Each structure stands twice: as C-alpha cells, then as structure tokens.
Chains A and B, each alone.
Chain A
Amino acid sequence: MPSRSALPAAWISALLAMACAANPAPEGFLPTRVQAQTMAYGGWIELMVDSANSRKQQRVEGELLAVTADSVWMLSTQGARVIATGSVKEGRLTAYQSQTGAITGWTALGVLSTASNGVVLILTAPLWIITGTIAGINESHAPVRDVPGQRWEDLAAFARFPHGMPAGVALQSLKPRN
C-alpha cells in the first residue's frame, strides 16, 4: 500500500499510464533530447507489415536507417532489411526519450507543495494533477511520429541517413548501435 506522500505520484502515474505513448525501444537505445543533438543514429521504428505467406500481419522493429516514399530501411539485431512502404499497414517512429517520468515527479512535488496553500489547495492540487497529466500525455507523444498521420518522407529527419541510403553501402556492413 503506498504511503500518504506517495499517493499523488501514484495517482499521476496511473493517469499517465492510461493515456501515454509507451517507449518501445530497447533500454538505453534512445537518446535524450540533448544527446539527440549530437548523436547520429536513427530513431526506433516499429512497422506492421503484411506477410507474404499468410493473412496475418508481422511486426518488425529496429533502427531507422533511411526512408523514402516507397521504401523503409531498418536495422535490427537480425540485420538490416528494406521494406516496401506499400506493404506497411502502420508504422511508428520514436525519435528520442520522452521526459514523462520527470513531469510525473515534478507534478507530484507540485501537488505536495499545495499543502502551503491552505484551503486553496482544493483548487491548486487538482489543477496540478490536471496540468501535470495533460503535460505528461503531450510529452509522451512528443518524440513519436506515426504513419499514417505523417508521410514516410517526414520520418527522414530521424533516420541514420536522412538523405537516403548512400550509394555503395552494403546493408550487411551496417552494425546496430551497441
């Protein structure tokens, strides 16, 4: 059972869990916003692809290497592959880490700090929870780009090779980020 002081954090976490975009990438793969300024890897992409052998859709994921209107190049631990965008039902790119956890923490602290507001906490505490929840949900979606919703070319900015696959680069020579 959570302690009294942990209750605001638990509440906010529960609310955020209901509406937030999850981080699908392996732990440590995605950079923070600050790191993303200098790192040169692609974001993490998940695709639901029509399977050639069955009616079922196949889920594939990995680092986004490059993307054009008709092809997506990606690199997973199984190696690099190219997928026709026409066979992709839906795709989601996560470009960097969201700071939802930080917002949850700050919001919880904000809720606790309303103890200094006397009876006005009846207003300020729920306002903190509402504001923090909305901010957290927005924050969790900030690094996410969905297709459909955006064009494939719009994802290029967060590819390892934003200008497209370089000529002469063999797919098997590409290594995933350690």
Chain B
Amino acid sequence: MASRLRFGALSVAVATLVLSANCSLRRLERELVAPRQLITTNAESPYLKAHLKNGFVYVLSDWHADSAAAVIVGTGQLLDINRAVVDTGRFRVPLDSVALFETNVLHGSGATIALTVMAGITAGVAAVCLTNTKACFGSCPTFYIEGSTQLAAEGFSASIAPALEATDLDMLARARPRGRDFTLRLTNEALETHVIRWADLIVAPRPSGGRVFVTPDGRFLNATALTAPSRCTAAEGDCLAAVARLDGQERSTTADSTDLATRETIELEAVVPDSGDWGVVMTARQSLLTTFLIYQSLAYMGQDAGRFLAALGTMGPSARAQAAGLGRTLGRIDVLVPDDSGWIVAGSVGETGPLAADTKIVPLPMRRGGAQAQKIRLRMTKGLWRIDYVALARLGKPVATQRLQPARVRRDGRDDPAAWRALRDSALVLATLPGDVYQLTYRLPPHPERYEIFLEARGYYLEWMRREWFAEQNSGLALGLFLDPAASLRRLAPAYKQVEPDIERLFWSSRYAKP
C-alpha cells in the first residue's frame, strides 16, 4: 500500500512539475515593429526594446506609448553598440530616434501541452486507484500459460487468512502443450502477500474425441458427445450466443439495486441423443461483486482487520462457518432439473474469484428413455456470475490422474532452488510479494496432447490494508456482515451500484506490475 501511495504521490508530483514547467518551457514569439506601428502592436510584451538608428538600444519594462507626444515611456536601461550600460532610469524615447521596436512574448509551447496531457493521464490513472481502492486489482496468485497473456487460472481466491488456507483445483481448459515441458507463469499482481504451499499439475488422459472434467466434489470424469444447448433464455432474452462456445464471450448482468443477494434464473434446453449418464459442463467466473464485498469487509474491520483474521485461526468450526456466511448468502450457480414435483438441485458450481473462469461438470439425474429435450435451469445471484460456456456431455468412467510437481522453478529467468524446494515440500511455503513472477516448468507424460491439464494450488493470501479503508472502520457494520449477511447485502446495494458501471475498468487498470 505504501508503495502504491508513494507512486501515486509521484504521479501527482510529476503533474505538478510539468504544470510548473509551463513557466519555463515556453515558446518565444519575437516581433519587429516600425515606430509608427507601435501603437497597434503587441502590448502584451512585458519588455520593449527600442533599437536606435545609431545602434544603441533601450530595454524598457513597464512601458507605454504616448501617441500624442510621439514618445515611448518606460523604465530600464540604455545600452551602447557593445551592449554596455550607458544609462538607467525612467526614459521618454522619441519615436523619430528609433529604427525598430522589438517585442517578445512567451506563449505556452506544444511540448508543455503534450507533457501536461501525459502528466494528467498518468496522475488520473493513479488517482483512480487511490480513490477507488475497493475497485483496485486484487487477485490471489494468478497463473498464465507461458507465451500467453490470457489468464489461465487463479488460486484459492477465498483464502484471505491463514485459517482459510485451502486447495483449489482449476481446469486449464485452453492449455495446448507443444512439448513435454509445460511452463506456467505464477504472478503476484496485487497489493497482497501470497503464501503458496504447492502448485501441482494434475493430468488425466483424454478419451478419444472427448475431454476430462472435474466435478465440484473433485471426481475426474471422462466426457464425450459435448452438446451445446439449443435454447438459452434469461431476463434479457436470448442468451444462446454467449454460452454456446468457450470463446471468452460471457453472459452476465448487473446486480439488483436494492439487494445484492437477489437471485435470477437462466432457462436452458438441450437435446440429448440417448439416455444414460449426462452432465452439465459449465465455464464461469465471478463478477467483481465479491471483490467489492471482501474489500468492504476489510474496510469495516479497519485497524482490527489483522487481529480479526488472525483470530479466525483459533475460532471453532461454528464461528468459522459463521464468518463464511456472506459467501453462503451469495451462493453458487445451482443447476436444477425438472422432476415430477417441480425442480430439484442437481448440483452447484462456481468458485470465488473474478479473474479466471473455471470449468466444472455437474452430473444430472437423467430420465430413462430415448432422445429427449433436457431442460435445465441455472439459479444464481444476479450480477455475481459471468458464464462463458454451457454444454451437456455424456459422462464416462472416472479417470486415473497423475500429479506433477514443478520440475524447475525460475525467477527473472534464473533457477530459484529455494522456491523449487518450497513448492515441492508441503511443509514449506513460497511467499510472494507484489510484482513477483515465477516460471514453473512441469514435465508432462509422453504425448502430452492426449492429456487434460488441471492446476491444483494450495495456500492463502494476505490483503494489504489501504490507508483509505481505515476511514470506514465500523465494528458494528463489520459484525453485521457476519451475523446478518442478508441485511448487509441489502444495505450495501446502493454503494455497489454506484461503482458497478466502472468497477471492471478500474479493477483491471490497477493491476500491479513492476516497472
């Protein structure tokens, strides 16, 4: 936080400097004027040089033309042909002794304007982050596939304290290994300390023409005959184009303006060719609503945030469950299917985190029979989820997987044996700070293209407190978030709706990278 504040202050300082540069970085406009034209010439000029016919020159300030007397009146010096001072004082210079007048005016230069605009842009971006700290980038560890700038996974987003250390399994759905060495870039792009116990790959052989997906309870299943829905309807109308392909085009909506826990539904229909075991494959991530709420919670805790989060470690399971009440109230994406009595929940997907979408599969209780149109309803908190892809898939057998630890760990292009040891020994941890980047290289089995790749990361992270948050410290409201999350989500709705239109832009523009 301190460094961001320092950099923010630096930006403001640059802006000030550049603005002050206006004074010294100016364009000089010099004009020569015949004596009889002086009356109409540039009176803006603070100084007037009167070049006499004999080569002498008056340099006058506080000057004016007395047209009636045909003289120029001003204070200054008379200089000879070698520019030595001949006389000083207040002068009345007859126009007929003057060969030429010279005026000089300083104007703002193009260079100053350009630098001022740049300083304004820089300070503006920095100020956005300083004044909208709840919209600034917060991420937990982020993972990129080497050579790609597209985020592949984020690790344990809900683990904001040591007591909440957790294991997170993400499918690297877009991984296309080109050889047996597969490298992930592990980054810390937020004002956070990340504590990573491990970051292993789980690889599973793909079935012919199919893929392997993991269920919310961690079972790896073969999946074939992926079938896109034939219909998708939400409150805004047809949503089929957004969810039919895994293409980054997501279906999302805004939060309710009176209650952040308000639910919405999406109705899907897909024709499955036969009976059997089918499941719903879904790729989704959260919106920035959760980020806002986590930061708001920390702001309410203020100076006591550290103490509270540390105390979580000594609390009993019931107290810890109470602390997770906000997340439970927001909920996940429930997958419902019709049965004789109405709709039943087949399962729920969705993990905390607004950055990388994760893919999971929810097995469905299917009716027996031939080809049928399967109706599916997705129920979720409005404005909380962004869904990229939904499909049905025929489920196969559970798959035997293989765990791969990093074979090599590099930092700034050099091997880092200490980090390598830390990530291979679960008794040790790798701690990273803002701007840190590591390359984790794994050795895949032969024919790596035949494998599905998942990332399993375990750890927790510590959010750095922002000074601006302390102003909102309110233990009563902090307690309310845990004791009565539903009421808190209603109370915070107006505040979130105020930042919601810009929160995405502010968030991504505040990602931390070392210069």
Residue among B13, B25, B27, B122 having the largest count of chain A Cβ atoms under 10 Å:
B122
CB-based contact B28/A110 at 8 Å: no
Instruction: Give every chain A residue within 8 A of B10 (Cβ-Cβ).
Output: 109, 112-113, 115-116
- Is A115 within 8 A of B115, CB to CB? no
B141 within 8 A of partner (CB): no
- Residue B137 contacts which of A37, A110, A118, A139 (CB distance < 8 angstroms)? A118
Interface string of B242-283 (1 = CB under 8 A from A): 000000000000000000000000000000000000000000
Please determine whether B47 and A166 come into contact, CB atoms closer than 8 angstroms.
no
29 contacts between A and B (CB under 8 A): A33-B26, A36-B104, A40-B83, A41-B83, A96-B28, A99-B25, A102-B21, A102-B24, A107-B115, A109-B13, A113-B10, A113-B11, A116-B125, A116-B126, A117-B509, A118-B137, A118-B513, A119-B137, A119-B189, A119-B513, A120-B509, A121-B513, A127-B118, A135-B110, A139-B109, A142-B27, A160-B83, A162-B100, A163-B99
**Residues of chain B from 229 to 244 with CB closer than 8 A to chain A in the complex:** none
The answer to whether B510 touches A38, judged by C-beta atoms less than 8 angstroms apart, is no
- CB–CB A168/B54 < 8 A: yes
Residues 133-176 of A, flagged 1 when their CB comes within 8 A of B and 0 if not, give: 01110110011000000000000111011111111110001110
Count CB-based A-B contacts (< 8 Å): 176
Query: B119 in the interface, Cβ–Cβ < 8 Å?
Result: yes
Whether the pair B51, A161 counts as a contact (CB closer than 8 A) is yes
Q: Indicate if the CB atoms of B114 and A131 lie closer than 8 Å.
A: yes
Is B106 close to A, CB under 8 A?
A: yes
Most buried by B among A38, A41, A131, A138: A38
Chain A: residues with Cβ within 8 Å of the partner, total of 59
Asked if A21 CB lies within 8 Å of chain B CBs, one says: no
Interface residues as binary, B34-74 with A (CB distance below 8 Å gives 1, 0 otherwise): 00000000000111010111110101000000000000000
Instruction: Report the Cα distance A34→B104, complex, angstroms.
Output: 9
B82 x A174 contact (CB < 8 A): yes
B106 touches A33 (CB 8 A): yes
In the assembled complex, B487 has its CB within 8 A of some CB on chain A: no
Complex CA gap A119/B510 in Å reads 6
- In the complex, A64 Cα to B173 Cα: how many Å? 73
Q: In the complex the two chains form, what is the Cα distance from A96 to B27 in whole Å?
A: 11
Closest CB in chain A relative to B304 CB, distance in Å: 28
The minimal Cβ–Cβ distance linking B259 to chain A, given in whole angstroms, is 32
Name the A residues within 8 Å of B106 (CB-CB). Answer: 33-34, 37
Q: Which residues of B contact A95 (CB under 8 A)?
A: 28, 30
Residues in B whose Cβ lies below 8 Å from that of A177 = 83
Nearest 4 A/B pairs, CB to CB: A116-B7, A166-B55, A135-B111, A119-B511
